[in-house]
Chains A and B, each alone.
Chain A
Amino acid sequence: MTTKRVEGRRRDHKVFIYALSTCGWCKKTKQFLRDNGVEYEYMDVDTGTMEEKRAAVEHLKEKGAPLAFPVIIVDDNRVISGFKQDAISEALGL
């Protein structure tokens, strides 16, 4: 599992998503960001090795995020759990 970057014209915020490759809500989140031209990085945790999964869970704990996908981390500090469109829009100024 590697972090993948999706290019976009909006780069004013650093956006990182912990996702699952099989998850419908995660796909909606990625689609929403793409539709809005937001550049983001993501990691599909389910496709990773156990070590990578552990690193992900440690990072999520450190951020105080729940283990529910997707988790959207904006600028390394704001954590949004789930595809909450309004919260994402507000955090990114969309």
Chain B
Amino acid sequence: MTGLDDVRRRAEADARSRGYFLNPNPGFLRDLLEGLLENEERYGYPSCPCRLASGVFDLDRDIVCPCDYRDPDVEEFGSCYCCLYMDFDTHESGQTRPIPERRPVEKQLAAYGEEGEEQLAKEGVPEAEAPAARRLMYCRVCGYTVFRDEPPYICPICRAKREMFSEIRPSLIFRTK
């Protein structure tokens, strides 16, 4: 079973791999790690402690920590939404502040819908499962390729901005003579 030390080690390893730092305030950090552990026990996955999860994995994918919004938030505001991860400057100054929510309202509302499964039946499968809307895109800087609706906010490999992503159109690649 996952314990608080596991959650802490996981977060530390993830922060190191991205050049981020964890919240320097021991009490604040502990609260966040405990929140992650609570959510993992409650839902089966560590969703963001500062967001209301629906309890349906497909609807909560984007807020499983580290969330989809962490990298752009650290880039723009110096820390992620819940303030678990931060950049060097924010960590050194200790000046943490609440930042605006980047997660789209439609996604937030899923947590207030009918019990998750009904929500899925009503609104269809969420975007992550809808291949029709997906596109193949690549980062023009490093070549990293993704298959999803929208390009990532930031390239997870070379940190280029999303504007550097271009769509790959198979018809152009496999054009016959």
Flag if A57 contacts B49 (CB, 8 Å): no
Flag if A25 contacts B82 (CB, 8 Å): yes
The chain A residue sitting closest to B99, CB to CB, is A82
Flag if B35 contacts A22 (CB, 8 Å): yes
Q: Is A20 an interface residue (CB 8 A)?
A: yes
Flag if B112 contacts A24 (CB, 8 Å): no
Contacts of A69 in B (CB 8 A): 50-52
Q: Is B155 an interface residue (CB 8 A)?
A: no
Contacts of A78 in B (CB 8 A): none
What are 20 A-B pairs with beta-carbon distances under 8 A?
A: A20-B51, A21-B38, A22-B35, A22-B36, A22-B39, A22-B50, A24-B23, A24-B28, A24-B49, A24-B50, A24-B84, A25-B83, A25-B98, A45-B52, A50-B112, A57-B112, A68-B100, A68-B101, A82-B98, A84-B98
Q: Is B74 an interface residue (CB 8 A)?
A: no
Contacts of B105 in A (CB 8 A): 67
Contacts of B32 in A (CB 8 A): 24
Task: Give chain A interface residues in 45-86, CB to chain B under 8 Å.
Answer: 45-46, 50, 53-54, 56-57, 66-69, 82-84
Flag if A23 contacts B82 (CB, 8 Å): yes
What is the distance, in angstroms, from B106's C-beta to the closest C-beta of chain A? Answer: 11
Q: How many residues of A contact B (CB 8 A)?
A: 23
Q: How far is the CA of A21 from the CA of B32 in the complex (A)?
A: 11
Q: Is A4 an interface residue (CB 8 A)?
A: no
Flag if B49 contacts A22 (CB, 8 Å): yes
The count of A-to-B residue pairs whose CB atoms sit within 8 angstroms is 62
Contacts of B83 in A (CB 8 A): 24-25
Q: Is A27 an interface residue (CB 8 A)?
A: yes
What is the distance, in angstroms, from B96's C-beta to the closest C-beta of chain A? Answer: 9
Contacts of B146 in A (CB 8 A): none
What is the distance, in angstroms, from B149's C-beta to the closest C-beta of chain A? Answer: 22
- Given the interface pairs A20-B50, A23-B82, the reply to whether A57 lies near B38 with Cβ below 8 Å is no
What is the distance, in angstroms, from B32's C-beta to the closest C-beta of chain A? Answer: 5
Flag if B50 contacts A23 (CB, 8 Å): yes
Q: How far is the CA of A61 from the CA of B84 in the complex (A)?
A: 28
0/1 string, B19-36, CB within 8 A of A gives 1: 000010000100110111
What is the distance, in angstroms, from B84's C-beta to the closest C-beta of chain A? Answer: 8
What is the distance, in angstroms, from B115's C-beta to the closest C-beta of chain A? Answer: 6
Q: Is B114 an interface residue (CB 8 A)?
A: yes
Q: Is A13 an interface residue (CB 8 A)?
A: no
Q: Is A5 an interface residue (CB 8 A)?
A: no
Leading 9 A-B pairs by shortest Cβ distance? A22-B35, A82-B98, A22-B49, A68-B101, A23-B50, A24-B31, A57-B112, A24-B32, A67-B108
